[in-house]
Amino acid sequence: MAWQLKFFFILIILRISYAFALPPDDAQHPVFHVLKGDCESSQIDFLDSVTVLCAKAKAGIQQNFNLSQPINNFWLRYSRAYLGFHYGTAISFHISRRLYVAQTMAGELKTVDENVDGDFMFVRLGNPLRHRWRLNFGKIRLPFGIDQSKLAEGIQIEKNHFFTSRAALGGYFSYEDNSANLIEFGLSAPSLARKNDPQISFLRPNKFKESSDIVFRAAHDISALNGSRFVFSVLYNDFLFRRYGIAYVVSGFDRDLFYFEFIRKTHQKINSRYDQIFKLNYISNWTNQSRWIFEFEEESKRDRSGFVEYDQMIFNNLIFKTAVGVKNGQSSSNKSVFYLVSGLEAHL
Amino acid sequence: MRLKITNLLFIAAFFIQKKSFADEKDDLEKKHSSSNTIEEQSISVDFHAEEKVDDGFFAVPIEQLLRNSAFVSGLNSGADAINSSVESLMDAVFYGILDSDFEKKIDNNWTLVSGMRRDLFSAPDGSYIVIDRIKIGPSFGRELWRAHDISVALGVDGAFEVFDIYRRYDGMRVFEKDYLPQWRIWANNWLGLLPILTAILPPSFNQNELYDPLRLISGPLTVPLTSKLFFSMPVGSIRSYAISGGINVPVNFSSVVPQTIQKTLRSSWDLNEHLPYSIFVHGEHRINVLRRDNDTAWVGLKKNERFGHNFTPLVGNQISILKGALAVHLGKLDWIWSGVPIAVFPLDWEFEQSLAHVYDQVYEFDMRNVLARESYEAAVRGDFTMAGRLHEERVNVGKDTGVKFHFTRRQSKNEAAIRNRSNLALLRKDHIRDRSMAEVEVTDVEGKFFVLESQHDLSDKSWDVLVGEEDVRYQSHLQIPVQKIFPNENTNNLNDFSYLFDSHADPLSLSISMAVNDRFADVSEYREYLKKIQFFTKINLKDVPEFDLVDAKRLAEFRQKRLFDEPENDIFRVHVMPQHIGGFGAYSVVHFSKNQIEKLVNLSEDSIWRAFARAFGENERDWWDSEKRDRFVNQLGWLKYFFMIPARIFQVKSASADFIAETTNAIRQLKQVKESQSPTDQLDAFYRLFDSDYIPEITRALLELADLDAVPRNVRFSVQPKGLADQRLKDLYRTLNNKVFHEGPVLPVSTRYQVAQEKIAEFYLDRPRDGSNKPSISRVFLTSQQIPLSLRSLPYSETAAPLKHDKHAIIMLECKNTRNNSPLKVFVRVEQAGKLKLGKLHLAEQVFDILPLDEQSRGIPDLLRYEFYLTGPLSPVSSFLFEEAVEAGDSLSVTIAVSADGVVWSSERQLEFRLVNGRLSKPE
């Protein structure tokens, strides 16, 4: 971690030195901007001579009601911070950190699946609007499929995460033609295979070995509705598994977002064993200070879940979230388990 | 055969102009533009006189629908059962209810197979052409033996099939509520479910796909076997029914696929592979009945016998998604939804070769004549003897029999087809290459004549779930008029004959056409189509409208969002895509006369290479002469060609790689055309010249070689502006409608054979026509007006929206072909307009009667004026939701059509507006 921080500070110092050295003509432009929230840049557009700090943060508290098994009810406190430091448009540094504290109603701490961890810290060379080729490296989540959910955190931490990527030391190249195509290729540094992967828990510890993830993701856009995108992904881990993903994202006329995704994971160590997931999501645009989220998932034709969430902005930057949902399948002994989640979330 | 598509309704260009309302209706002619908010102003929409326009741009030729490949592709291979691919999510979830196949196993070998299907095509005038199809028949299948896991089976099948093809208007659907019995209204609307689905589903959902299921099911009962049933057919509609049967011997080679490949396919995506080869014999006997006008019936007979073989390798599977998303557990009832079937067939090939004997015959019956009615009833049962006799009596004796013979045609065809389809559920790509060579014998009213014919049909179709289908189709058609000579006149051997060029008949002709049909084109596709048309015809399309590729505002917004965005969001940042402008259709023809062909074949080899190099995008200097062509670097082009052959499996082709092979073949065939002494050799050479995936490039090369001033070429456009693009852009796009560009001399008049073909084309109608003079709307005039003082003092009913202002939208129509002394039926639909939502909102949809105003419009005879309030308490379409939307100042889209009888409707007219505090305004 230390070297990354050092690098970050060196960048800032370099940038400040550069600002002092600016010729008088450029002095009329502010050299350092802080953007927050969506980090939209209506005035800074395309200036190479600016340094921008994009800051996002949120914190919230939620209560999860398991209506079928009240003993599993819990409180969740969470926060997430993201900083993007853009040194001109050619180089940027991105860091994100999440914290979860879950507590049962009896006051006991509840373990949160470490795979929920969305932390990353990496450097990006190039900017999506200025450069076709980009390189991202650091502690980073390799690009695979959509790999995101906008549902309330209280629901997300209850899911299993066999199909999501964790951040690891590595990097990836991106090529984007600024008209319809995005191609990404990356790999993570070799590391000890995940011992806590329940799919391979039967292996003896000495059977684990160092392995890398190699990933390829390609997206192609077509002009349907407000724009639609096909996403194809392949992830190869020479020790554990391979993952194949196909997804389709549609941006609606009202900037609503609809996407579905199918991922299949085949296991190297277990012959003819595979898991798969099908996801269907709808996220409405914020209109009248509110939005809807719908998510359906079917996992390996065994477990299904469906959630509907309604978010209402109470004041600027304060959101009231309510979600209801149901899970059914082998993991719940084929009984339907109903959920109700509600909470407040504050944004920067 | 390419069916020439002619005439139907119209949509002429229309333009919206804002107009001063100072002098109200008397000053309709003065128009000038106005400011954004329109106070004391109005919207006047003028429509050009209705012209016939080709609906066929938006429909498929009926022969494609009649082609019944299921029977010939080996029912017993199992491949066809898997490949009942679902075209769209709408099809899968909703329309699929009326597109169903049912199989009832009778025993181990026998199955009763039945199926029904509805296809709907939108016509430019706003109506729909509905094609209902139903079939039923037995099927026998039995494995004969199995060797090394390769199964050989025997399949026998037969079917009775009925088509019902008719036109449906939205107005007709709404008006039916006024006279149909209540149970039928409920049945037509699926017990009320249909209007609800229309209200909540995306705008692409078309309720006409599902409306009136009873009509589809009752198809077999409506076969017009009697005069009475004939008169129950709507004018312009077609009923077609057939008995068909076949035998096939399928052999499945799936087991020869290596186990490792099979395993990989299954474990990665659950895909299966099939390699069925089949030999088949198939026959069909079809009767077609067209109600051409009120009292005229055309009855056609088509007999088709085919013998051939096919090979249909297939990799894919049908996957159910959302399976189990809905379930009911109620007592003993356990129901789980089987989900949405999604077809994933990355590889789906079909190679087919067959010999076909086709017989066509067409008779016309005047149904007012008793004799004609009698012979009609015999003809529709397959007996044309009486019709033939009555025609002879009419011609020879002058007796008024009411029966007219048009022609018979016998074709002996060599057919071949390669179809390559890739279906990935959400998008599909079809590449189809059909070709045939035929000896045709035609008997028309003037006597018998013979034609040798070669046809190629190259179609590239792509489809995706959201914007539907786009199709670019090239066809070449060569006709050589010949004499059939029997060398030994005394022999009875009818197979001992030869063909000679017929110098007295119409000369040899070669026509190549290009048809583009895109249901929802964007600017990028539009530019691409124009480029293709220009390339194909060598016509300078200088006056076509031009548009910006993307919406500048959206692009700026995208850039703002992305510049400093969090990288994790990259995957959601879909690029700003080209603007959608609406439906696009174009039909272009290039015609080479005999003289031009003679000139082409006499050109030097060097000039042919140069022309082909230009057409294939190569540097012509590299192929200038034989010395340059023989260079090692150029000859390496053959390697490129061979390397690219496997890529064709995935529909990847490269003009650059195939250039050398295509040009070598073209030179060889042109040489053979020049040297051939017999018409059959010449036919053969032309057949092989166009037996290619590069018909546009070959045509272009021929144009490069020809004398352009002597080659007639033309292109006609048909467009349907729609989508989110702004109104100004759509108005500009609309100006392209019906525009014709022509270069070179006029196209030659139809030959005798073409006349016969046009009759068949008309008979196998791509779209039904309207029988009588349709009413039409020539002007829509919208303004806001104070309701009369007397009414303003009346109390409003409790249900009506409170009156916040006393000005309401009033519509004045100017109509033609309507009756002065009887009420006019007006169809009005009001929807939310402006920024489209994912779900559309129907605010009102109604048919009502109004009487014409006393005054005659602008002194033009036959032009009548009608007037009605669209909003407010006097509106016949008023409803709570509608009035709420008006009060809220929502953007509204109004669709209007008129009819005299509720059956035949005018073209639909649309306009958009907002009413803000009683003032008309532009939609948001």
ipTM entry: 0.84
CB distance A223–B836 less than 8 Å?
no
Portion of chain B with pLDDT greater than 70, in percent: 78
Helix (H, G, I), strand (E, B) or coil at B261: helix
Percent of chain A with pLDDT over 90: 27
Nearest C-alpha of chain A: how many angstroms from B426?
9
Q: Hey, what's the torsion of the CAs at A84, A86, A91, A94, to 10 degrees?
A: -10
pLDDT tens readout for residues B54-97: 444 444 444 444 443 333 333 333 333 333 333 444 555 566 66
User: At residue B515, what is the residue type?
Assistant: A
CB contact under 8 A, B563 and A251: no
Positive or negative, the Cα torsion across B188, B190, B192, B198?
negative
- Integer Cα distance of A260 and A262 in angstroms: 7
Contact B567 A136 (CB under 8 A): yes
CA nearest neighbour of A331 among A25, A54, A68, A135? A68
Residues of chain A with C-beta less than 8 angstroms from the C-beta of B567: 94, 124, 136
pLDDT value for B194: 85
Helix (H) or strand (E) holding A40: none
Rg over CA atoms, chain B:
30
The most confident of A321-325, B804-808, B814-818, by mean pLDDT: A321-325
Note the pLDDT tens digit of each residue in B859-905.
Answer: 566 788 888 888 887 888 887 778 888 877 777 888 899 988 887 88
User: How many Å from the N-terminal Cα to the C-terminal Cα in chain B?
Assistant: 48
The minimum CA-CA distance between A105 and chain B, rounded to whole Å, is: 32
Q: Is B607 helix (H, G, I), strand (E, B) or coil?
A: helix
Q: Is the pLDDT of residue B503 over 70?
A: yes
Angle at B132 between CA B128 and CA B133, to 5 degrees: 150
> Do A235 and A145 touch, CB atoms closer than 8 A?
no
Question: Which chain A residues have a beta carbon less than 8 Å from that of B837?
Answer: 253-254
Q: What pLDDT shows up at residue B499? A: 84
| pLDDT number for residue B765 | 44
Nearest to B560 among A45, A226, A266 (CB): A45
> Cβ contact (<8 Å) for A257 and B572?
yes
Which letter does DSSP use for residue A348 in this model? -
**Which residues in chain B are contacts of A95 at CB distance < 8 A?**
none
Provide the pLDDT for residue B272: 81
Most confident of A206-220, B516-530, B694-708, B852-866: B694-708
Check CB contact under 8 Å for A254 and B571.
no
pLDDT digits (tens, 9 = 90+) for B168-193: 888 888 888 888 899 999 999 888 88
Q: A221: which chain B residues are within 8 Å (Cβ-Cβ)?
A: 574-575, 577
Mutation for B interface: A222, A257, A270, A276, most B CBs within 10 A:
A222
The answer to whether the CB atoms of A257 and B559 lie below 8 A apart is no
From chain A, the residues in CB contact with B201 under 8 A are none
Contact B720, B124 (CB under 8 A): yes
Task: Find the closest chain A residue to B264 by CA distance.
Answer: A272
Write the CA distances from B828 to B125, B781, B806, B876, B922, integer angstroms. 15, 14, 22, 10, 20
Q: Could you tell me the CA-to-CA distances from A175 to A123, A313, B567, B710 in Å, in that order? A: 16, 37, 14, 50
Whether the per-residue pLDDT at A317 is higher than 90: the answer is no
pLDDT tens sequence across B692-704: 999 999 999 999 9
Using the Cα atoms of residue B496, residue B498, residue B504 and residue B505 in order, give the sign of their dihedral.
positive
**B151-165, B374-388, B528-542, B778-792, range with the lowest pLDDT:** B778-792
Average pLDDT over residues A232-236: 91
Under 8 Å CB pairs connecting chains A and B tally to 135
CB B517 within 8 A of CB B585: yes
* Chain A residues touching residue B323 (CB < 8 angstroms): 298, 301
**Min Cα separation B532/chain A (Å):** 20
Check CB contact under 8 Å for A266 and B268. Answer: yes
Query: Which of A174, A225, A304 has its CB closest to that of B466?
Result: A225
CB contact under 8 A, A227 and B267: no
- Residue A85: partners with Cβ closer than 8 Å, 6 or more residues away: A8, A11, A12, A51, A52, A53, A54, A92, A93, A94
> B interface mutation test: which of A225, A233, A235, A246 has the most B CBs within 10 A?
A225
Q: What is the DSSP string of B499-545?
A: EEE-TTSPPPEEEEEEEEEEEEEEHHHHHHHHHHHHHHH----TTS-
For residue B23, is pLDDT > 70?
Answer: no
Query: Per-residue pLDDT averaged across B470-481, rounded?
Result: 89
Does residue A122 surpass a pLDDT of 50? Answer: yes
Top pLDDT among B356 and A273 is at B356
Q: What is the pLDDT of residue B517?
A: 83
- Predicted confidence at residue B136, as pLDDT, reads 92
Q: Which residue did the predictor score with more confidence, B501 or A270? A: B501
If pLDDT is split at 50, 70 and 90, which confidence band does A233 have? very high
State the Cα–Cα distance between residues B855 and B863, nearest whole angstrom: 10
Q: Are B816 and B907 in contact (CB under 8 A)?
A: no
Give the model confidence (pLDDT) of A145-203 as tens digits. Answer: 988 888 898 888 877 777 777 788 899 999 998 788 999 999 988 776 565 566 556 55
- The answer to whether residue A61 scores a pLDDT higher than 90 is yes
Checking if the pLDDT of B771 tops 80, the result is: no
The more confident residue out of B858 and B224 is: B224
How many residues are recorded in chain B? 924
DSSP codes of every residue in B749-781: PPPHHHHHHHHHHHHS-SS---SS---EEEEEE
Q: Which of A119-128, B622-631, B801-810 has the highest mean pLDDT?
A: A119-128
For residue A141, the chain B residues in CB contact (below 8 A) are 568
Cβ-defined contact of A128 to B570 (cutoff 8 Å): yes
Q: What are the tokens at B105?
A: 């196993």
A303 vs A274, which has greater pLDDT? A303
Instruction: Give the side-chain half-sphere CA count within 13 A for A148.
Output: 18
Contact B575 A253 (CB under 8 A): no
Asked if the model's pLDDT at residue B22 lies above 50, the reply is no
Beta bridge partners of B462: B429, B470
- In this structure, which amino acid lies at residue B697? E
Q: Report CB contact under 8 Å: B572, A182.
A: no
Instruction: Answer whether residue B7 shows pLDDT above 60.
Output: no
- Chain-centroid distance of CA B293 in Å reads 23
CB-based contacts of B257: which residues, under 8 Å, 6+ apart?
A: B273, B275
Instruction: Give the pLDDT of residue B6.
Output: 30
- The Cα-based distances of B300 to B365, B384, B387, B401, B668 in angstroms read 11, 10, 12, 18, 41
More confident residue, B310 or B756: B310
Task: Provide the phi-psi class of A138: left if phi over 0, else alpha when psi is between -120 and 50, else beta.
Answer: left
Would you state the structure tokens that stand for residue B858, as one six-digit string? 């602008």
Q: Pairing state of beta strands A337-347 and B580-592?
A: unpaired
| H or E, element range at B398 | none
Query: Among B325, B564, B567, whose Cβ lies nearest the Cβ of A52?
Result: B564
DSSP per-residue codes, A41-61:
-TTTTT-TT-EEEEEEEEEEE
Choose the weakest-confidence range: B10-24, B226-240, B743-757, B864-878: B10-24
Distance from CA of A179 to the nearest CA of B (A): 6
Examine the pLDDT at B804 and tell me if it is beyond 60: no
The answer, yes or no, to whether residue B520 has pLDDT greater than 90, is no
- The pLDDT score that the predictor gives to residue B390 is 93
Per CB-CB distance under 8 Å, the chain A contacts of B568 are 96, 120, 141, 148
How much is the pLDDT for B31?
A: 34
pLDDT band, residue B536 (cuts 50/70/90) = very high
pLDDT of residue B494: 64
CB contact under 8 A, A221 and B267: no
Map residue B906 onto helix, strand or coil: coil
> What is the predicted pLDDT for the residue at B24?
34
pLDDT value for B175: 87
Task: Please tell me the distance in Å from A106's CA to the nearest CA on chain B.
Answer: 34
pLDDT in tens, A72-108: 889 999 998 999 998 877 889 999 988 888 888 888 8
Q: Say if residues A149 and A163 touch (Cβ distance below 8 Å).
A: no
pLDDT value at position B103? 83
| Residue B333 pLDDT > 80 | no
In chain B, whose CA is at the least distance from the CA of A43?
Answer: B560
CA distances from B491 to A142, B44, B340, B449 (A): 83, 76, 65, 21
Q: What does DSSP say about strands A51-66 and A32-36: parallel, antiparallel, or unpaired?
A: parallel
Interface residues on B facing A, Cβ-Cβ cutoff 8 A: 267-269, 321-325, 426-427, 464-467, 522, 524, 559-568, 570-578, 580, 724, 835-838
- Reduced to 3 states (helix: H, G, I; strand: E, B; else coil), residue B149 is coil
Which 3 state secondary structure label does DSSP give B57?
helix
CA distance B610 to B700: 12
Contact yes or no for B568 and A141 at CB 8 A: yes
- State residue B595 phi and psi, 5-degree precision: -60, -45
Q: Which residues of A touch B571 (CB under 8 A)?
A: 143, 145-148, 219, 229, 231, 249
Q: Is the pLDDT of residue B410 over 50?
A: yes
**Cβ separation B724–A253 shorter than 8 A:** yes
Is a pLDDT exceeding 50 seen at residue A120?
A: yes
Task: Determine the Cα–Cα distance for residues B39 and B271; give it in Å rounded to an integer.
Answer: 64
| Encoded tokens for B627 | 């010395």
Helix or strand holding residue B867 (H, E): strand B864-869
Average pLDDT, chain B: 78
pLDDT over 70 at B576, yes or no: yes
| Nearest partner of B214 among B135, B281, B116, judged by Cα | B116
B426, A84: Cβ pair inside 8 Å?
Answer: no
Instruction: Give the mean pLDDT of B545-565.
Output: 86
